Chain A
Amino acid sequence: MKFKKSQIHISETMLVLFVVIVIIMLVVVLYFRITVENNKNLENDISEREATIMLAKVLSLDEISCNNDFCVDAGKFIPFKRALGDNFDYFRKIFGRKKITFRRVYPEPDFTVKDIECDISKYIQEIYPFNCGKWIIYENNPEGEMGTKVSSVVSLYFPEIDKYMVGRLEIEHYGSIKKY
C-alpha cells in the first residue's frame, strides 16, 4: 500500500504533536505530584506543630487540669470521658483528629497492668490507680489514618488518695489539618 506525500506529512505532524502533548502532560503530572507532595509535607508540619502546642494546651485545660497547681487532676479523667460522650462535637472543636492518652510512669506500673486502660470498673476497685496504667481520654480518627506521636512528662494528682505521681501525656496526631 502506497502513501501519498501529503498523507505522510499529516502522519508526521500528528506524531510530533502527539509526542509534544505527551511530554507536556508528563511535565504537568510531575508538577502536580511535586505540589501535592509539598502540600502533604506542609500538612504534616502543621499537624505536628498543632500537636506540640496541644501538649501544653491540654495541661492548661480546666476540664482536666488541677485548679491551682500545675498538674493534671486524674480524678477528672473518668468524668471527662463521660462529658466527652455528651458533648463530642464541642470537644472535637478543641482537639480535632487526635488520640490523647495519659500514662502512669512513676511509681512504675507493673508490666501486667501497664497497658490496661483505667476505666470505671478499675476505678471502683480499692487498689485504684495501681490496677491499671493508662487513660485514653480522647480519640477521634474517623479515617483510620496512621498517627505520629508527641509526648511530654506531666504531674498526675490523684484526689482519691491525695498523692502526686509522674505521668506521660501522649498525643497521637493524624497528619491532617482538617480540624475535625
Chain B
Amino acid sequence: MKFSRIYRKKGDTSILFNWIFAIIAGAVILMFFVKFSFVSISGNKMLEGNRILVFLDDKLDAFGVGEGSDTINLNDDFKIGFSCGVISSGETANNNFYERSTDKVLFSPQILKGDEIKVWTKKWEFPYGIATFFYLGNPKNRILFVAESYNVDEVLSIADNIPPIFKVQVTDKQKFDPGLFLSQVKGYDKFTVVYFGTPSFTVNQLKSLYGVNVEVIIIDLENNTAKIYDSFGNVYDEFYIGDEMMYGLIFSGSGYSCIKERAIQRYQVIDSIYSDKVTRLMGKTKDQTCIDMLNEARKMLDNYRYINEKDDFYDMFDRIKKQNEDLEKKGCSGVYL
C-alpha cells in the first residue's frame, strides 16, 4: 500500500500515526543499541589496553624482587612507551592510548614495539641499597660498544656483565666499519652506538647511512661522565653514579636524564630514613664512642642528602663505607646492615 494513498483515505489517519510511532520507537531502540555497542566495545578495549599495562607492571614487580634477566612474552604485538615514571600502550593520538604511572626506575628506549620485552634487574647500591634498576630492551633495539685499543678489556668486561639476551656487540674502533652493520640495522627501531673514547662517526653520518633512529653515546670511564647525541640533533651532558647507572645510561640514551633524577630522588628518601634511624640508635646506646660515631654518620647523611654533583656522590660513597666499617669494628650498632 502506498503511503500517499493511506494519507488520502479519510478515517485512516490512525495508520499514519502507527507508522510515525513505529519509526520513532524503532529509531530510539536502534540508537540505544548503537550507543550500548559503542560503550561495550570501548569498555572492552579500555580493559584490554589497561590489562597489558597492569600485566607488565606486575611482571616487572615480580622481576624486581631479585636480580637477573628474562624475557616477558606479551602474546601479541604491542607498542609500549616508557617515559619517566609512566608506562603506556598504543599511539598517543589514538583512542587506544592508555598509560599507568609506575614507581620503578626503568632504563629503556622510549618505545618498545613487538611481542616481547627483555628485562634485566640489578640492585643499585651506593654503598647501601637504594633501588632496583630495570633495564629493558627487545630484539629491535640493539647496542654496539666501540672500544679504544687501550680499553678493550674493560669494555669487554662491561659487555660481559650485560646478560646475553640483549646481544650487545663489541668492536674495536680501528675495525669499526658502519657499512658492515648495514644489513642488521635495517630492521631495528633504534640502534645505539656507544663509544668508550673519541667517536669515529657522528650521529648524523650513522643516521644517514642506516636510516633508522640512531643514538651515539660517548662514555668517559675515568670521569664517569657521558655525552648523548640523539637523532634530532640534541646533545646531553650527563654523569653516572656507579656501574649500574652507567648501564642505565646505555639502555635509555636520550631518556636518561629524567630517570637518573628519579633514582636520585629515591636516594634522598633512603638517606633521610638512614639519618632518622641513626638518630634513634643514638638514643639507644650508652657507649659515648658509639654515640659520637653515630652522630658523625647522621651529620654526614644530612649534609649529603641534597647533593647533585657527581664528585660529591663518590666522596660520600668512600666516607660512608669507611664509617660503617669503623662502627662495626667498635662493636656499635651498624647503620647499613
Chain A interface (Cβ < 8 Å from any Cβ of B):
6-7, 9-10, 13-14, 17, 21, 24, 28, 35, 39, 42, 46, 49-50, 53-54, 56-57, 59-60, 62-63, 65-69, 73, 75-76, 78-80, 82-83, 86-87, 90, 93-94, 123-124, 157, 159-160, 162, 177, 179
Contacts and interface: CB of A to CB of B under 8 A. Distances in A.
B58 A49 contact: yes
Contacts, number: 114
Given A60-B65, A75-B277, A28 B36 contact: yes
Interface residues of B, number: 52
Contacts of A75: 277, 280-281, 333
Q: 4 smallest A-B Cβ distances: which pairs?
A: A79-B276, A6-B14, A62-B129, A94-B103
Contact of B25 (A17, A59, A93, A162): A17
Contacts of A65: 129
A21 B30 CA distance: 11
B64 A90 contact: no
A60 B132 contact: yes
A50 B65 contact: no
A177 B276 contact: no
18 contacts: A17-B21, A39-B47, A46-B54, A53-B61, A59-B65, A60-B66, A63-B269, A67-B336, A67-B337, A68-B337, A73-B277, A73-B337, A76-B273, A82-B272, A90-B265, A90-B269, A93-B102, A93-B103
A179 B14 CA distance: 59
B65 A179 contact: no
A159 B333 contact: yes
B270 A69 contact: no
B62 interface: yes
B14 A87 contact: no
A159 B270 contact: no
Main secondary structure of the interface of A (DSSP, over half): helix
B64, B85, B128, B273, most chain A CB atoms within 10 A: B273
A118 B108 CA distance: 41
Interface in B264-306: 265, 269-270, 272-277, 280-281, 283-284
B131 interface: yes
Contacts of B103: 90, 93-94
A60 B64 contact: yes
B212 interface: no
A7 B280 contact: no
Contacts of B64: 57, 60
Contacts of A76: 273, 277
Contact of B128 (A13, A14, A67, A78): A67
A9 B333 contact: no
A39 B39 CA distance: 14
Contacts of A39: 47
B62 A53 contact: yes
Nearest to B26: A17
A9 B18 contact: yes
A62 B36 contact: no
Contacts of B284: 160
Given A13-B18, A67-B336, A123 B65 contact: no
B273 A83 contact: yes
B29 A62 contact: no
B330 interface: no
Interface in B12-33: 12, 14-15, 17-18, 21-22, 25, 29, 32
Given A79-B273, A87-B269, A93-B101, A7 B337 contact: no
Nearest to B130: A62
B58 A62 contact: no
A83 B101 contact: no
B100 interface: yes
Interface string B46-65: 01001000100010011011
Given A75-B333, A160-B281, 19 more contacts: A7-B14, A10-B14, A13-B22, A17-B25, A35-B43, A50-B58, A53-B62, A57-B65, A59-B65, A62-B128, A62-B130, A63-B270, A75-B277, A76-B273, A79-B274, A93-B102, A93-B103, A159-B277, A179-B100
